[in-house]
Amino acid sequence: MLEKEKEALAKRIAGEITLSSDPGKTMRKWREIFGISQTELAEYLGVSSSVISDYEGGRRKSPGASTIRKFVEALLEIDERRGGNVIKAFSKTLGSEFPTSAILDIREFALPVTVKDIVDAVKGEVAANIDLLDRRIYGYTVVDSIQAILEMSSEEFLKLYGWTTERALVFTKVTTGRSPMIAIRVQGLKPAVVVLHGVKRLDELAVKIAEKERVPLVVSKVESESELIMNLRKLVEKREKEL
């Protein structure tokens, strides 16, 4: 099942842990991307949960190559047992280039942020699912909604997710918000949060879809696209400095 994608993802995870100045935090990030608890991972590896906790908290020395290999293999095997959703999502990010006129910016966070961090960065108002502000986010994509509708195929739309769906999709040039939310509903893959910029009148259907899909919906009050992107990049830089 998706052997090339598995190999590419394994190399990416292992390389990121090896090169990280804080391997434990990077291990935690990937464990959470896969949605695996410390207990489940520990059971698979045949160790106690405290071992996983100690690595992630920096209380154990940096993991060696053997430990990293077993860790990565565990993530992939557990995901396959569940249907391979993370591996499949990653596979959709490989291949063709992004259409540059539609993608305004795409970044990954060195350390996760929360929905609330995104709301603050975009000067947002939460229109749906305010109870999910603590959800962790590992990246963002800023999309020109008009160009996306005109130019992007359904396959290219899936590539907006970078290497994880646990990200913010930020749509600019939005009038009501209906089209982006319908696209998300139809495609099936759900981002961690949707941000709409330029809204003149938020459509009730967009809110209802967000509520049904349990995706926080945020309306940005930032004046311009450039300021929006600048604020998000500052958030990336802040997390990089915390490593």
With beta carbons less than 8 A apart as the criterion, state whether 143 and 160 touch. Answer: yes
Task: Supply the DSSP symbol for 163.
Answer: T
- Backbone phi and psi for residue 169, each to the nearest 5 degrees, phi listed first: -100, 120
Measured CA to CA, the distance from residue 212 to residue 45 in angstroms comes to 36
pLDDT score at 118: 96
Q: What is the dihedral of CA 147, 158, 233, 168, to 10 degrees?
A: 110
Residue 125's DSSP bridge partners are 219
pLDDT score at 96: 44
Measured CA to CA, the distance from residue 43 to residue 52 in angstroms comes to 10
Residues of the chain with pLDDT under 70: 1-2, 89-101, 152-159, 161-164, 188, 243
User: Which 3 state secondary structure label does DSSP give 104?
Assistant: strand
Measured CA to CA, the distance from residue 159 to residue 8 in angstroms comes to 16
pLDDT score at 74: 95
pLDDT per residue over 90-116, tens digit each?
Answer: 665 554 444 446 788 888 887 889 999
Longest dimension (CA), the chain: 55
Residues in the chain: 243
What does pTM read for this prediction?
Answer: 0.64
pLDDT per residue over 168-180, tens digit each?
Answer: 999 999 999 998 8
pLDDT score at 188: 67
Measured CA to CA, the distance from residue 128 to residue 181 in angstroms comes to 12
Alpha helical stretches, state H, 48-94: 49-56, 65-81, 85-91
pLDDT score at 91: 67
pLDDT score at 218: 97
Q: What is the dihedral of CA 218, 223, 226, 228, to 10 degrees?
A: -20
Q: State both tokens at 47.
A: 């160790």
Q: Is 92 left (phi over 0), alpha (psi -120 to 50) or beta?
A: alpha
Q: State both tokens at 241.
A: 């400095």
- Backbone phi and psi for residue 28, each to the nearest 5 degrees, phi listed first: -65, -40
